[in-house]
C-alpha cells in the first residue's frame, strides 16, 4: 500500500473519530439537560408541597381568604402571606412554563390564577389590597415584562371565564387548586 492510500485512510479514520466524539458530546449535553430539567421539576414539586403545607397549617385563615371574609390582626397578615405565596407559586410556574419546563400552548398557571380570582371573592379582594404587581405600571418583581405578561394572561382568561360563567358557584374546598 502506498503512502497516499495510507494517508487517505488515516484521514477517513480521523473524520470518523471526530464524528464519534461529536455524537458523544451531544449525548452528554442531552443527558445533562435532562438531569437539569428533572432537578427543576423536583424543585417545583417541593415548592408546591411547601405551599400546600402552608395552606393546610393555616386552613381556617385560607378558607376566610377564599370566601372574602373579614380578617383581623394576625389573620390579616397570614392571609396576605398565604395569598402572596399562592400568587408567587403560580407566577414562578408560569415563567417555568414559558421557559422550558412544560412548553404548553396555554399557561395553566395563569388559568388557575384566573379561575380562583373568578370563583372566590376573597382572591380579587386580596389582590386589590395586597398585590402591587396587579396595578398597571407598578410591577415590582424582577422581571417586569414577564410580570406584566403573566398579569395580562390572567386578566384575559378572567374575562373569558366571566363570559362563560357569569355567576360562579364556588366550593371553598377547591380554593387555590
DSSP 60: H
Q: Is the pLDDT of residue 13 over 80?
A: yes
- Residue 114, number of CB atoms within 10 A of its CB: 23
User: In the predicted model, what is the mean pLDDT of the chain?
Assistant: 78
Q: Which residue has the cell 502506498?
A: 2
What are the pLDDT digits (tens) for 72-122? 989 988 988 888 888 888 877 777 666 554 445 557 888 888 888 888 888
What are the pLDDT digits (tens) for 133-177? 544 545 454 456 777 777 888 889 999 988 888 787 777 777 777
Domain boundaries, the chain: 1-57, 59-177
- Residue 120, number of CB atoms within 10 A of its CB: 22
Amino acid at each position: 500500500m502506498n503512502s497516499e492510500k495510507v494517508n487517505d485512510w488515516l484521514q477517513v479514520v480521523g473524520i470518523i473519530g471526530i464524528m464519534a466524539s461529536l455524537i458523544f458530546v451531544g449525548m452528554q449535553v442531552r443527558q445533562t439537560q435532562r438531569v437539569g430539567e428533572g432537578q427543576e421539576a423536583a424543585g417545583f414539586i417541593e415548592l408546591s408541597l411547601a405551599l400546600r403545607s402552608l395552606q393546610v397549617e393555616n386552613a381556617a385563615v385560607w378558607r376566610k381568604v377564599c370566601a372574602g371574609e373579614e380578617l383581623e390582626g394576625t389573620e390579616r397578615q397570614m392571609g396576605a402571606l398565604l395569598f402572596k405565596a399562592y400568587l408567587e407559586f403560580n407566577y414562578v410556574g408560569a415563567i417555568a412554563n414559558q421557559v422550558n419546563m412544560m412548553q404548553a400552548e396555554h399557561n395553566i398557571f395563569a388559568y388557575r390564577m384566573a379561575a380562583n380570582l373568578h370563583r372566590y371573592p376573597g382572591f380579587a379582594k386580596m389582590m386589590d389590597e395586597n398585590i402591587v404587581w396587579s396595578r398597571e405600571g407598578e410591577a415590582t418583581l424582577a422581571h417586569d415584562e414577564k410580570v406584566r405578561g403573566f398579569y395580562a394572561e390572567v386578566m384575559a382568561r378572567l374575562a373569558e371565564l366571566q363570559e362563560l360563567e357569569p355567576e360562579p358557584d364556588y366550593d371553598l374546598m377547591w380554593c387555590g387548586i
